[in-house]
Structure 1
Amino acid sequence: MMHSSASQQAPQQQKKTVFTRFLDTVEFLGNLLPHPITLFALFCVAILVASGIAGYFGVSVIDPRPEGAAGRAADGMIHVISLFNAEGLQLIVANLVSNFTGFAPLGTVLVAMLGVAIAEYSGLLSAAMRGLVMGASRRMVTLVVVFAGIISNTASELGYVVLIPLAAMLFHSLGRHPLAGLAAAFAGVSGGYSANLLLGTVDPLLSGITETAAQMIDPNYLVGPEANWYFMFASTFAITIMGAFVTEKIVEPKLGKYNVEEASEDLGGDKMGQLTDLEKKGLKLAGLAALVVSALLAMTIVPADGILRHPDTGLVSGSPFLRGIVAFIFVFFAIPGFVYGRTVGTMKNDRDVINAMSKSMSTMGMYIVLVFFAAQFVAFFKWTNFGQVFAVGGADVLQSIGLTGPMLFFAFILMCGFINLMIGSASAQWAVTAPIFVPMLMLVGYAPETIQAAYRIGDSVTNLITPMMSYFGMILAVATRYQKNLGLGTLISIMLPYSMVFVIGWSIMFYVWVFVLGIPVGPGSATYFNIAG
């Protein structure tokens, strides 16, 4: 019997070793990469040198666009244009500032963040999150924790800083394993990062990059922040169900019964702070304010003669309402946020509102610096025609091997998930990959909105298992509070089932949504793109 037991343990130990090696390799490769800002600066230099070499050798491809199309050369070819010369230097110097200030995601994200900041610094978002999670019944608590994690990504840091520690405390107070609560919240916050019921700051961020990439093929193509809203709205419920299933059927049974002796500190004070009567009153008034704002906005778009419908067609598609959706994100969060703050006393006057917005902008310094270099990279890529050359060449390869339709998107989602292991920032990864893959998949026949939706799946599902994710260290610190000897590999092994179920389940949902049911991924969003049209 002893020999049999030892022989059974050996393969398990070997599996653990292989898994640990995989995690170590991911961490090692990720650490080899420089900071994303440095990465973009290096990419800019690489493009300059590569364009000089390609221009010298006359690299070109046949332009697939029809004759007479905007930007099509007279000889019907797309040539790589060198920036490694006097003309290139002049172009760079003359447009350095305009590349930065004209970068589509910059202004939209900053404006949206101003409104979210008021709701966040007033305490509205935190109170709403606590009320949602702590008001859940014992049967529904797992579903509610995952759901709250998903919708918390409207305010980027809230889920990581507030909800994940809160969920661990909640599970512990219910006699369940606290790491299961942490894992469920982490799965919602990070694994379901792109999904949400509302449009958040990530939507204008990604759509701006997508629009710039799409205009390499069609200079007039526009991609709004609402481009993926239908699909991401539905994804919120799909990820909630998948996350709760993995927590209760896989992760929690694997963790077993919690032993408080494993904690690294006394958990006697690990109690949940209930909402006060004043906070409840603030939430009710903020909810009423949100309803009033929603009603006023609906009056501008729901009636057939709504003032924010398209002035020529009278349709919602292409209307000022959709084109100005970032302004409404600002208003929708700012007004209820101020009402809540005024009620509970965290915001008494305009100065407090201004301070909240100022604090939010002060935290965006890293993002602004990143945007400066990303904007130069995107502009260089466009000027050299590298994006179009790679897109045409890649599209030819895809068509020659017959990789189209669902299998093409499954491969694209997996590739984005793999890259995300190394580059944890959604905007940084998309700024690098969009100029190549958006034009490439457009040439194969798919619309930028659909391509972006697939990217968002790949970018989200591996957030849970990459040490490169910016909050991974903080989550590990919270986890070690409950299990003192817990290491990086253990945390990733806990989260791995979520990544596996999410990538399979979410990809199947995308396939059914796009290819079986043919539902658009957002209001007015096309599924297919016809270059001849």
Structure 2
Amino acid sequence: MSTKQVAQPKKGLFGKFLDMIEKVGNALPHPVTLFFIFAVAVVIISDIAARAGLSVQFDMIDRATGEIKEATVGAVSLLNPDGIRFIFSKAVSNFTGFAPLGTVLVAMLGVGVAEGTGLISALLRKVVLNTPKRAITAVVVFLGIMSNVASDAGYVVLVPLGAIIFLSFGRHPLAGLAAAFAGVSGGFSANLLIGTVDPLLGGLSTEAAKILDPNYSVAATANWYFMIVSTFVITLIGSWITEKVVEPRLGEYKGEEKVDLKDLTDDEKKGLRASLISLLVFTAVIVALVAPANGILRNPETGEILGHSAFMDGIVPIIMAFFLIPGVVYGIASKTIKDDKDVANAMGKAMGTMGGYLVLSFVAAQFIAYFNYSNLGTILAVKGANFLDAVGFTGMPLIIGFIIVSAFINLFIGSASAKWAIMAPVFVPMFMRLGYTPEFTQVAYRIGDSTTNIISPLMSYFAVIVAFAQKYDRKTGIGTLISSMVPYSLAFLLGWTVLLIIWSVFGLPIGPGAFMRM
């Protein structure tokens, strides 16, 4: 397939702004050093804030009991005796408990086998040779959005695959990585299906609504209609930004990574058929363990699948098997695997490529742990909520202000449920008094919560994406990634907000039995 060079357009003011972000960001030290500096800064700021007596009082939802309780949170110093003990005693557990670490390493065992046996290469060639070039960007963004139903799997699997798919089409791999990342993270709340976050946020909204109405209940499907439409809107916006803004900025890829597009051999075709059969068998086994009302992988007490269940808790090893089993079967059928040593070597090779990521994860994990320990994120969240409560906005300006504040707070607190546990008791009753339903308040929050994930270094998978990008360009730094993702963030924030305004004008239901007005 011929590679067509993307024409470089004349840069306008916004393009120069993005170039400045990239230049300044990449002029900073190596990401490992940068996260170390961030960690040191948090240590110092936490001590200054604690000595100044910085604290906030607020009502929040206890996520364990569901009760509303009054809380006082003050800045905690990392330079007092307890803080210093925390720094030393928790360094290892901060690293081993870093959310992306186990997800990435376990999933990579399966992906490494699928890649080492040649399954991924053959499958991508099959996809590239049979997919219209115009559709591939939308497909990558759409699959990224849909992947969030499987928790964090999209970060580990789809983001690097997005880069490979684009490279297969002779396009810049970092544009594919950006498109996939935008879908997975920037479109986190959108989906055609009910995901894990829906019942979680619905439960918190219910408890907040009970402050005014003890009988109010917010269902897991409360935002479903809006999120279905959002899936297609975010796909269109993400595709347009990729092709009109991000990819032209990146220009032609001149790196060393290549993807071979030669036709499949008979052995490869045989291997693909065998791997497909094995995948169908594996999928049937998982369905048999989940589908029945008393399925083994369901929650044994509640019977739920998407909440606390063995299926969701085990989604990472399931994903590993999803790649491992077809990978091994493909290798045997295509004769790229001779014995078990080849499988073990493929796993070892995959782990051998993760050295840089492990170093980055260690430092990033300390930074995020220090930030959480210091309570600085919670204080920022409450201060932001109180500010919006005090400015006196009403109607749609209030909604837009709420979305912007949610997006801003998301830069400092990554967990959607942790932020909502703090913000829901403030905003749900406040909006109810203005005639807006808790379901509507929740959907507005989710817009802000999703759109700035992709530009926040505090987002736990941000370091992972930097590491993936450096495979294609060793000079890639935080500046490169943020400058590539800012257009998505701004476009998603604007487009999603406009969609909400249109929804409000027409008074459409946002979910089954859920409306915007009380």
Q: Structure 1 length as normaliser, TM-score? A: 0.63
The structure-2 alpha-carbon separation of the partners of 1:21 and 1:450, relative to structure 1 and needing over 3 Å to count, comes to closer
Which residue of structure 1 aligns with residue 412 of structure 2? 433
1:328-380 alpha-carbon deviations (Å, 9 max, x no partner): 11111111111112211222322122112112222222222222222222332
Contact 2:114 2:323 (C-alpha < 8 Å) held by counterparts: yes
Q: Greater shift after overlay, 38-47 or 319-328?
A: 38-47
1:344 aligns with 2:346: no
Quick one: which amino acid aligns to residue 366 of structure 1?
G
Deviation at 1:130, TM superposition (A): 1.5
C-alpha distance in structure 2 between counterparts of 1:196 and 1:26, whole Å:
23
- Following superposition of structure 1 onto structure 2, how do residues 172-251 of structure 1 map, counting pairs within 5 Å? 188-189=179-180, 191-194=182-185
Select 1:48's aligned residue among 23, 43, 62.
Answer: 43
Question: Is 1:121 the counterpart of 2:111 in the alignment?
Answer: no
Cα distance change on mapping 1:166 and 1:76 into 2, 3 Å: closer
How does 1:46-445 map onto structure 2 within 5 Å?
Answer: 46-65=41-60, 77-136=72-131, 140-144=132-136, 146-147=138-139, 151=143, 154=157, 156-160=159-163, 162-168=164-170, 188-189=179-180, 191-194=182-185, 272-316=261-305, 317-401=307-391, 402=393, 405=399, 408-409=402-403, 412=406, 433-434=412-413, 439-445=418-424
* TM-score after normalising by structure 2: 0.64
Q: Which secondary structure state, in structure 2, belongs to the residue aligned with residue 342 of structure 1?
A: helix
SS at structure 1 position matched to 2:169:
helix
Moved more, 342-351 or 442-451: 442-451
Name the CA distance, whole Å, in 2 between partners of 1:370 and 1:264: 25
Q: For the residues of structure 2 that align with 1:76 and 1:147, how far apart are their CA atoms?
A: 45
Q: Write the distance in 2 (CA, Å) between the matches of 1:87 and 1:124.
A: 51
Secondary structure in 2 aligned to 1:64?
strand
Distance across 2 between alignment mates of 1:134 and 1:63: 57
Greater displacement, 30-39 / 287-296: 30-39
> Across the two proteins, how many residue pairs are aligned to each other?
421
Answer yes or no: is the 8 Å Cα contact 2:356–2:467 preserved in 1.
no
Amino acid of the residue matched to residue 274 of structure 2?
A: L
Q: Which has the higher contact order (CA 8 A, sep 6+)?
A: 2
Cα distance between partner residues in 2 of 1:345 and 1:19 = 52
Aligned twin of 2:436: none
Once the 2 structures are TM-superposed, how far is the Cα of residue 297 of structure 1 from its aligned partner?
Answer: 0.3
What do the CA deviations read for 1:103-143 (whole angstroms, capped 9, x no partner)? 3332222212212222222222222222122123xxx4311
The whole-number CA distance in structure 1 between the counterparts of 2:56 and 2:416 is 17
User: For the Cα contact (< 8 Å) 2:179–2:239, is it kept in 1?
Assistant: no
CA distance in 1, matches of 2:449, 2:95: 24
CA distance in 2, matches of 1:461, 1:99: 23
Does 228-237 or 187-196 show the bigger shift? 228-237
Structure 1 equivalent of residue 151 of structure 2: none
Q: Is the 8 A contact 1:191 1:461 kept in 2?
A: no
Partner Cα distance (1:337, 1:456) in 2: 34
* Alpha-carbon distance in structure 2 between the residues aligned to 1:113 and 1:456: 26
State the Cα distance separating 1:288 from its structure 2 match. 1.2
- 2:412 counterpart SS class: helix
Q: Supply the AA of the counterpart residue of 1:142.
A: R
CA apart distance, 1:186 = 6.6
Larger Rg: 1
How many percent of aligned residue pairs carry the same amino acid?
A: 37
* Amino acid aligned to 2:271: G
Alpha-carbon RMSD? 5.2
* Whole-angstrom distance in 2 between the partners of 1:508 and 1:165: 34
- The separation in 2 between residues aligned to 1:475 and 1:370, in whole angstroms, is 17
Long gaps (5+) in structure 2? 1-8, 145-153, 189-195, 209-222, 429-440, 458-464, 475-479, 513-518
Counterparts in 2 of 1:40 and 1:404: CA distance versus 1, 3 Å: farther
Report the Cα distance in structure 2 between the residues aligned to 1:339 and 1:57, rounded to whole angstroms: 63
Contact 1:55/1:81, CA 8 A, preserved across alignment: yes
How far off its partner does 1:100 sit?
1.8
Unpaired segments ≥5 residues, structure 1 = 1-13, 169-178, 198-205, 219-227, 256-262, 417-429, 478-488, 521-533
Partners of 2:87 and 2:328 in 1: CA distance: 44
